[in-house]
A and B are shown apart, each in its own frame.
Chain A
Amino acid sequence: MFYLSVRHPKLKQPALLLIALSGLILFLLLAPSLWGGYARILLFTILLYVTMAVSYDVVGGMLGYLYLGHGLFFGLGAYITALALKNGQTLPLALLLGAFLVLPVAAFLSLPLFRLQGAVFALATLGLLLLGGQLASNLPDLTGGAAGLSLPPNTNPMLTYSLALLLALATVLMHWLLCSSSLGLQLSSINENEDMAESVGINCAKVKRLALIISAVPAAMAGGLHAREISFVIPAEAFGLENSLAPLLMCLLFKPGTTWGPLLGALVLSTAQEFIWTTVPSFRLSLYGILLIFIGMQRARRSYHWALGTKH
């Protein structure tokens, strides 16, 4: 694989990092049995958000497109996994099926989508998300329509939780490797100047297609895990705007294009969200709104400084 030839990222203290990482994994695996069900659900939600935010970053951060369609793949994954589970498949198999079926969808959608740029790209991806929700409620025989699909109760919550942990770790690792691979470099060069990238021989269409696929697969698996966890899928939630916006905010909040940026954003924002849910539930959408306005104004200022050639 030429695209994923990794230029050995330098680690300052690999042994220390390895110990810390295995300690973290052990802690996350033991936490549910130490603190019970609520801790498990809370950590599960945070792990899904980490997966979503870090996978969003491949298109939204490294490639630098304003991308509002991440929730589409989340919803597709949720529905495919739910249908597979209903037909008696095991959870890992159902998740893999979701990931596998989302691949051609992402590859196909990238063809028309990446003809567009900037704001129009954002609008088109938002339209696709709405279209997904509409399709799910229009096909009542397959998806149960607006009333949704309900699954048999979750018999093995620890399996769902461990799979979420595995998925989050795999996504973060993939993103970290991607950052230092040639594909990652190509993505950031497209981000900085697309025409220039094309002129030095990068096949922009192909690279962008790969980016969309790489970001879609973890999102689909996260959607599948979410469907299993709550045993219930409805169009309004599976294809909800929040599934696109939460990863976007988490990614753009700190430093898009790095691994730690979306990771930290996901941790901070999902904790904040949990706090708001339990104290002032009616403030949830407004928090998104305020953050969006804040990030938008920041962005406008930054591009102004770039245009003037002054660092800020």
Chain B
Amino acid sequence: MDLATFTQLLLSGLLLGGIYAMVAVGLALCFGVLGLLNLAHGAFLVLAGFVFQAVQGFWPAGTLVSFIMVPLFFAGLGWLAFRCFLQSSLRRSPQDFLVPALLITLGLAFILEEGTLTLWDRSMAGIVSQFDTIRWGHIYLPGNRLVVLILMLTISIGLQIWLTRTDSGRRLRALSQEPTGATLVGISLTRETGIAFAMATALAAMAGLFYVTLFTVSPHLGLPLTLKALFIVVISGSGSLTRPLAGGLALGTLETMLAAPFGAHWANFISICLLLVFLCWRPQGLFISKREAGIG
């Protein structure tokens, strides 16, 4: 493999990894605060991709507007889903919430998938690129990929700033570190977690927009994608957004690199295998000792 091919693969890998990272960060946001593993995340992503394509069909000039409006719409949708299905269960039993939440979000994923299938009749969604390809020596970088890369970086940095510098982010971190203490000083668990869930859904929608610009989206994509991102989140352990971000980037790069010699289907197989091995090896998180997690 020469250097140009390597660089090309690395760039594509980082793009795929960027999408994994965005999905994983959205999930980590919920996992850190709520201990909620959201299986419906990918279904929201797919639905957003289809909605974006439909909007593009109606109004080709409104790309920028729909890049803002679609995530906002999905934030509302996520908040609604949280209010209807998850909040009552969460308020009753935060500590035993994990397993029921898995069932509830899986059900939600099914309903969303069926909705997507019914509305768009089993098709695929994809967007034709609106930017020119940039050529640099032997390395080609399609313009839309570059735009997506820049946007993804901006969003991740924005999210970090929101978490560390704003009051709302601070409340969220307080809840994830010490739920009882945070509730005692007047932070509303249900309100903040609702906001976190809405933000995570908006992030999923954004990842969906990027996905549909880079690759094609099919209705059945949701669950495998969610599962990979969830594995990344569990392996990274709760309480950090940078670790899932790095994990997502690493997984995407690895998958693209493996796809060159083995083919895409084996690369996918190997990546799921690796994630499962990590998960069984360190169920409490790869970077967290057993003592710290209070298990062993």
Contacts and interface: CB of A to CB of B under 8 A. Distances in A.
A300 B100 contact: yes
Contact of A118 (B89, B98, B118, B268): B98
B145 to A, nearest CB: 26
Contacts of A118: 98-99
Interface string A111-146: 011011111101110111011001101100000000
A66 B102 contact: yes
B114 interface: yes
Interface stretch (A211-219, A254-262, A289-297): A289-297
B279 interface: yes
Q: How large is the interface on A (under 10, 10 to 19, 20 to 34, 35 or more residues)?
A: 35 or more
Nearest to A146: B265
Contact of B102 (A119, A131, A301, A307): A119
Max chain B C-beta neighbours (<10 A), residue from A117, A291, A304: A304
B280 A307 contact: no
Interface in B83-116: 85, 88-90, 92-93, 95-104, 106-111, 113-115
B117 A128 contact: no
A123 B231 contact: yes
Interface string A264-300: 0000000000000000001111101111111111011
Contacts of B187: none
A131 B93 contact: no
B269 A123 contact: no
Contacts of A241: 223
B122 to A, nearest CB: 11
A300 B240 CA distance: 27
Nearest to B106: A292
Interface string B200-217: 000000000000000000
B111 A300 contact: no
Given A126-B227, A130-B224, A296-B101, 6 more contacts: A130-B227, A282-B114, A284-B114, A285-B110, A286-B115, A297-B100
B78 to A, nearest CB: 15
Contacts of A301: 89, 92
B275 interface: yes
Given A123-B231, A303-B96, A116 B224 contact: no
B37 interface: yes
A297 B107 CA distance: 11
A128 B37 CA distance: 18
B107 A292 contact: yes
The CB with the most chain B CB atoms within 10 A, among A283, A293, A295, A299, is that of: A293
A295 B103 contact: yes
Contact of A124 (B97, B102, B276): B276
Nearest to B107: A292
B266 interface: yes
B272 interface: yes
Contacts, number: 137
Contacts of B117: 282, 285
B107 A290 contact: yes
B273 A296 contact: no
B283 interface: yes
B280 A116 contact: yes
A289 B92 contact: no
Contacts of A135: 269
Contacts of B106: 245, 289, 292
A264 B283 CA distance: 36
Interface string B109-153: 111011101100000000000000000000000000000000000
A137 B265 contact: yes
B181 to A, nearest CB: 20
Interface in B217-276: 223-224, 227, 230-231, 234, 265-266, 268-269, 272-273, 275-276
27 contacts: A118-B99, A119-B37, A122-B102, A128-B276, A134-B268, A137-B265, A138-B265, A241-B223, A245-B106, A282-B114, A286-B114, A288-B110, A289-B110, A290-B107, A291-B107, A294-B107, A296-B100, A296-B107, A297-B85, A297-B104, A299-B100, A300-B92, A300-B100, A301-B92, A304-B93, A307-B95, A307-B96
A120 B37 CA distance: 9
A124 B154 CA distance: 33
A127 B231 CA distance: 9
Contacts of B273: 131
A304 B269 CA distance: 39
A294 B273 CA distance: 32
Nearest to A115: B280
A204 to B, nearest CB: 15
A193 to B, nearest CB: 14
B102 A289 contact: no
A134 B272 contact: yes
B273 to A, nearest CB: 7
B17 to A, nearest CB: 19
Contacts of A112: 276-277, 280
- Residue in B89, B92, B107, B279 whose Cβ sees the most chain A Cβ within 10 Å: B107
Contact of B280 (A113, A293, A299): A113
